[in-house]
Amino acid sequence: MSETPARPAQPRRPRGNRLQVVVRKRPLSGREAERGRRDVLDMQADAEGAWVIVHEPKTKVDLTAYIETHNFRFDGAFGEATTNRTLYAGSVAPLVSHLFAGRIATCFAYGATGAGKTHTMLGSPQEHGIYSLAANSIFERMEASNGAGGEGLVLRVSAFEIYGGKVFDLLHARKLCPVREDSKKRVHVVGLTQRHCHDIDHYASLLAASHDARQTAATMANGVSSRSHAVLQLALCRRAAARPAARGRRPPAGREEEEEFCEVGRMSFIDLAGTERGAATLSCHDKERQLEGAEINKSLLALKECIRGLDAGKSHVPFRGSKLTEVLRDSFVGDCHTVMIAAVGPSDDSVEQTLNTLRYAATVHDLSASSVAPPPTPTLQLMPPPPPRAPPADTPARGGSAKPTPRRRTMGGRTGLPPPTPVAASLSATGRIPSGAALGLSRSSPASPVGSPP
């Protein structure tokens, strides 16, 4: 492993597309440091983005130790010394502008259990997370927009989790909520509680209540592991025009929910459940944790397939592949902007989970960065009809009797056609990692580097 310290990686200038992928590296934990684990992640920045370099310890057949290097390219990378505020300013803050411009903004955190997703999104008593930092920016802009004592924009908050393929309201005692699609193809979580948020303190109390209601469990990988996908939605609304009889009257305190609002924009924050290998999910309830892990991996695979379909411009995108993609469809179609934060750990004993996370994120980044042009439309040209083909010499005239034409002999039933192009060759030519390996569903051989560092 190179002893040269890596340059601090910072976010690059935003690309023109609507999907940005950044990586956040957490520091070695106290337990990892006590066990003598090594940091195997480097980050380097340049004018075009950031490289994440993984030095994977491996052993040859003759027990010779060596290091295999994997290089990944992203829009930005944030090292272990990065604070949540720096991460927010460098990647998520632009989404607030999209929210006030009337668009749909989405930020989701992906990574293995214990990689720091919940700390990034929720924060801690000592450090605000992305949830709180974004809310502060929103309230500041609302105050500037509404003016002193003015009425206009309001913020409405809802929170739900997706656990076991079902949606539960985190602001109403985990009430089960069905998901329906209206005539305009818009997806609604029926009966989902939406709270009028007065200020940042009220917002903090709602955030704490939703987090306490979330489904967690202990696994071998993490003592408190989130076993569901948590979705926090902030709807920027404008009060609808008052009815004639109600003009000049405001609802009493605590009954603002009865007002009518018109949604201007929406921002969604998704803390995805931690991905784990099957062996890492074992605990005192083996079967239950394994079923949870299978459902989590299924929904994450469906999310990647939807992103793949959107980038390829497919007419049908499989949003119904999981409840996660179904309820988040509006976050990926239309006038929307999305930031993906891939959280990774630096330890050499978690290098497999780190590589799986980076491969998944690299697939999303490569799909979003690629500009696949549609095939050119063929130009119609008037072509003269082909000349009539002369009949073979042994073909009899009409009405005659024909001798049976002997059938061509083939070897083993083959007709002599050239063999099809191997699928493996076409996959290796694209340089994309299969989705199963990206999700850690199977242990595969290490992939070739995504690229070479500059």
Binding-site positions for ATP: 111-118
102/109 Cα distance (integer angstroms): 23
Which residues define the annotated binding site?
Answer: 111-118
> Which two three-digit tokens encode residue 371?
């500009």
Buried b (16+ CB within 10 A) or exposed e, 157-186: bbbbbbbeeebbbbbbeeeebeeeeeeeee
Runs of H (alpha helix) within 313-434? 323-327, 351-369, 423-430
Dihedral (CA of 23, 87, 104, 14) sign: negative
One-letter amino acid of 323:
K
Extended beta strands in 276-426, E state = 336-344
82 touches 130 (CB < 8 A): no
9/87 Cα distance (integer angstroms): 11
Extended beta strands in 141-251, E state = 153-163, 166-169, 175-177, 179-181, 187-189, 195-197, 216-217, 225-226, 229-239
121/127 Cα distance (integer angstroms): 11
Q: Say if residue 404 is exposed, middle or buried (CB neighbours under 10 Å; 0-12, 13-18, 19+).
A: exposed
Q: How many CB atoms lie within 10 A of CB 385?
A: 5
Instruction: Collapse the DSSP code of 249 into the 3-class scheme (helix H, G, I; strand E, B; otherwise coil) and give the result.
Output: coil
106/325 Cα distance (integer angstroms): 13
454/451 Cα distance (integer angstroms): 9
**435 membership: H or E segment, kind and range:** helix 435-438
294/298 Cα distance (integer angstroms): 6
Dihedral (CA of 407, 411, 413, 414) sign: negative
User: Can you list the pairs that 387-396 forms with residues at least 24 positions away whose Cβ atoms lie under 8 Å?
Assistant: none
> Which two three-digit tokens encode residue 277?
């290998």
Closest CA relative to residue 268, chosen from 325, 353, 185 = 325
> Which two three-digit tokens encode residue 158?
């809802």
